Amino acid sequence: MILKQSKPPDNQIQPNSDTRKKQLEAWCSLILNYHKHKKSYSIDVTEILNSQLCHNKEIDRKLSLDGLYTVLDELCRTGHLEWKDPKTKKQCLVMWRSPEEWGNLIYSWILSKSMTNTVCTFYELTNGEDSEGTEFHGLEKWLLLRAIKTLETQQKAEIMMFDDSEGVKFF
């Protein structure tokens, strides 16, 4: 898989603050684009360290574990990443689109389908036949819930949870 990157970011974290800032921006952009391309919403530190993203076998260059943590912490700071367990820092959730952006995408689709004042199941939104071809098709449940919560604060939706039923009503 080839990702369009004008110049691959350096594998060693730079000491100079300006260079370091540019380098971290490049790495963050690369990681987010990589996961967007793969439609992946989680990162396993061990897996990603040995993946083609951090390890270029052709020139035998590899991003160090400390370097990777520096990049992931930067993503965490910008709100694109969240550690599942901040103590162990082994796995994290990646958001290459913010929950607000996902919420707006979902709501735009709801409006285009004239589905306001309609009840939807979470399965219907992310795995239904109607949502096939949309960007949020296949969206993981934890991120879907966050996206809908942003709509809830705008009073555009209300999450329904009772007994074994989970869904959302749009307004």
Partner 1 sequence: MGGLFSSKGKDKKTESRVTEQDKAVLQLKQQRDKLKQYQKKINVQIEKDRNVAKQLLHDGKKDKAKLMLRKKKFQESLLEKTDGQLDNIDRMVTDLEFAQIESQVVQGLKVGNESLKKLHQLLSLEDVEKIMDETREGIEYQQEIDDLLSGGLTAQDEDDVLAELDAIVQAEVTDELPEVPDDELPEDKRKDKPRKEKRQAEALAS
Based on the shown chain and the rule CB under 8 A, indicate whether residue 111 belongs to the binding site for partner 1.
no
Based on the shown chain and the rule CB under 8 A, indicate whether residue 121 belongs to the binding site for partner 1.
yes
- Rounded to whole angstroms, how far apart are CA atoms 10 and 83? 25
CB of 132 to partner 1, least distance (A): 13
Based on the shown chain and the rule CB under 8 A, indicate whether residue 140 belongs to the binding site for partner 1.
no
Binds partner 1 by CB under 8 A, chosen from 124, 134, 136, 140 = 124
Region at 166 (left for phi over 0; alpha for psi -120 to 50; beta for the rest): beta
CB of 104 to partner 1, least distance (A): 21
CB of 158 to partner 1, least distance (A): 6
Binding mask 141-170 for partner 1 (x = CB under 8 A): --------------x--x-x-xxxxxx-x-
For residue 155, CA distances in Å to 64, 100, 107 come to 45, 13, 12
For residue 88, CA distances in Å to 73, 85, 96, 129 come to 13, 6, 23, 39
Which H helix or E strand runs over 99? helix 99-112
Q: Which of 41/122 has CB closer to partner 1? A: 122
Q: Which of 82/158 has CB closer to partner 1? A: 158
73 within 8 A of 54, measured Cβ to Cβ? no
Binds partner 1 by CB under 8 A, chosen from 19, 40, 118, 154 = 118
Neighbours of 52 (CB within 10 A): 12
> By the criterion CB under 8 A, which residues form the site for partner 1?
118-121, 123-124, 128, 155, 158, 160, 162-167, 169, 171
